[in-house]
Amino acid sequence: MLYLRKIKLNTMITKQKVNIYDVIGIERPSKLFLTRFGRVLFYCCASYLALLTLNVLLSLFFGFSLTLNYISDLGSKLFIPFPYMHNLICVFGGVVSLPANFFVRKKLQITYTFKNSRHSALFAEFGVALGVIGNVGYVLLGIFSLDRAGPGGIYHSVFSMISFGGYIFSIFFFSLNIVLSHKCRLKQLGLFGLVVPASLLFLYCIISIPVIEWFLLGSILAFLFLLNYYVFKV
């Protein structure tokens, strides 16, 4: 009987798959690639923020005002002599931040395993889908700037609503996932994402003045940058 148990145990051991990467103690190539790709994405997103800030600062020297001019005015020759810089920054920002949505979802899956709330997985999926929509809208917003806004500015207006709406609702659903995850260490960021962007959007719909639009953009960028920093941990 003991002999049969030994044979059964040896059979079970030989059936176990031994991974060479686990034996050597190094990361799998796919995991190593994703880690490095994630870092590149984060630095690209940080570069986008730096370029956007630099573009705004340069525009101030040409009479641009955060209290009098809307964000879209950065992409018009009527307000600044280098509108193509803003348009390219929009396209660049939308492209590099699009894959980050999937990294955020993966991070939430690994960290919180979606067991803390039955709705958490659904909220994360909504966050990814709406984030992608916002990114695509942002790219098209750079293409169809005020100088190429279409008849009556329809193209620019539509893509502006898609971009802002996608980002704001993506942040809202990601924040719901974060807040409902009991072991989450990002509660404060989640509460910020639930309250601030949506409140500023509501206020902007009532009082459509440039300064509120700039605060709205700032709240979106602040949330996404802090969330991406947590996800990539560079």
pLDDT tens digits along 189-233: 989 999 999 999 999 999 989 999 999 999 999 999 998 888 887
pLDDT at 67 over 60: yes
Residue type, 143: I
18-27, 33-42, 155-164: segment of lowest average pLDDT:
18-27
> pTM of the prediction?
0.81
- Say what the pLDDT of residue 147 is: 83
d(CA 98, CA 21): 31
- Say what the pLDDT of residue 29 is: 52
Mean predicted confidence (pLDDT) in 151-180: 90
What does the mean pLDDT of the chain come to? 81
Residue 25: pLDDT band by 50, 70, 90 thresholds?
Answer: very low
d(CA 137, CA 156): 10
H or E segment and range at residue 220: helix 210-232
The per-residue pLDDT for range 113-132, each reduced to its tens digit, is 555 556 677 888 899 999 99
Mean predicted confidence (pLDDT) in 134-144: 92
- Say what the pLDDT of residue 114 is: 53
- Say what the pLDDT of residue 177 is: 85
d(CA 131, CA 97): 9
Q: Which residue has the tokens 């602040």?
A: 222
pLDDT at 9 over 70: no
- Say what the pLDDT of residue 187 is: 84
The per-residue pLDDT for range 50-61, each reduced to its tens digit, is 999 999 999 999
Torsion from C-alpha of 231, 44, 169, 145, nearest 10 degrees: 180
Stronger pLDDT, 110 or 152, i.e. the higher one = 152
Stronger pLDDT, 63 or 2, i.e. the higher one = 63
